[in-house]
Structure 1
Amino acid sequence: MLPMAGRMAEREGGAPGAPTLDCGAGLGPDDLTTVADPSLDEVQLPNRPESAKVARQLAETVLLTRWRLPGQLAEHTVLLVSELVGNAVLHTGAQRFGLRMYRNRGRIRVEVRDPSRGLPCLLPVQPMDTSGRGLWLVERLSDRWGVDLQPRGKTTWFEMRVVEQ
């Protein structure tokens, strides 16, 4: 069972003025947040396998450079970003989807928004399984996760606790 919450406002086709990245543009990690920063605004990514790599680079840049959160927290967050983006690419049929990252006192939240209302399924995982582990990893590594249904789509999200120093 997935927790539901009404966190995001209804939006169709991306936030107005949200940056859109072309995953074939050949941007390096140092260039990403000058073009698009998911901690400042939702970044629109195309439904292509390369989007998972771009999303990982964006998340890593935000976590390590902007928020200065190295270590296992950053590694787990980048992995889970990749899993949610991979699910959006494989299962939604959307042309584009959005990536957004928030940091509040003691917590970070990552959201992937797409126009599909199909809910993700947390499947049982067997040791020899070669796929279907994405949400299992989200369940195991995040502190909280869920899906917010919108009138036109959904937002799949996870949260991680941050120990403030």
Structure 2
Amino acid sequence: MSSSRQQRFPRARTSARAARQFVGDTLGEWGIGERRDDIRLCASELAANAVLHGVPLGREFSVRLVRGPGVVSIEVRDSGPGVPEVRRAAPEEFCGRGLWMVKELSDEFGVQDEGVGKTVWVRFKVAAG
């Protein structure tokens, strides 16, 4: 059986932390402790990317957490243009590692064009329950 929870967040610096808290609270309610830190970190990174690169001024983004048999998914949707690109930053660069890290920590990673905006999603295999 699947469950999902979704919350909207403003284009604000505090939204990455709020998204991480939302995901952590939801995982706790669902009784999922396995890979909790990885899942929360990825939620935070995806939310930060939405704020920095995807959400137009005055708009919001959404974070949706889905639990299915043996899997937890995070979907971050914004209405901004462009498609995020996974790249490996050079050692001397100060930023540009977030999506690479998300892709490495998760079991699946993808971007879906929504016509207006996009959804960046990740999946994590967890114990079925």
| TM-score (ref. length: structure 1) | 0.71
- How large is the Cα RMSD of the aligned pairs? 1.6
Contact 2:62–2:78 (8 Å) recurs in 1: yes
In 2, Cα distance between equivalents of 1:136 and 1:99 = 19
Contact 2:54–2:79 (8 Å) recurs in 1: yes
Paired residues, number? 125
Partner of residue 134 from structure 1, selected from 80, 95, 98 = 98
Residue 92 of structure 1 and its aligned partner are, at CA, apart by: 1.6
Q: State whether structure 2 residue 94 is matched by structure 1 residue 111.
A: no
Residue 50 of structure 2 aligns to a residue in which SS? helix
The residue number in structure 2 matching 1:66 is: 29
Q: Which runs of 4+ in 1 moved over 3 A?
A: none
Amino acid at match of 1:80: C
Q: 1:102 to 1:152 in 2, by over 3 A?
A: same
Residue 130 of structure 1 and its aligned partner are, at CA, apart by: 2.1
The residue number in structure 2 matching 1:39 is: 4
| TM-score (ref. length: structure 2) | 0.89
The residue number in structure 2 matching 1:76 is: 38
Note the residue ranges of structure 2 that are not aligned, 5 or more in a row: none
| Paired-residue identity, % | 36
Amino acid at match of 1:126: A
Note the residue ranges of structure 1 that are not aligned, 5 or more in a row: 1-37
Q: Name whichever structure is richer in strand by fraction.
A: 2
Residue 157 of structure 1 aligns to a residue in which SS? strand
Contact 1:81–1:110 (8 Å) recurs in 2: yes
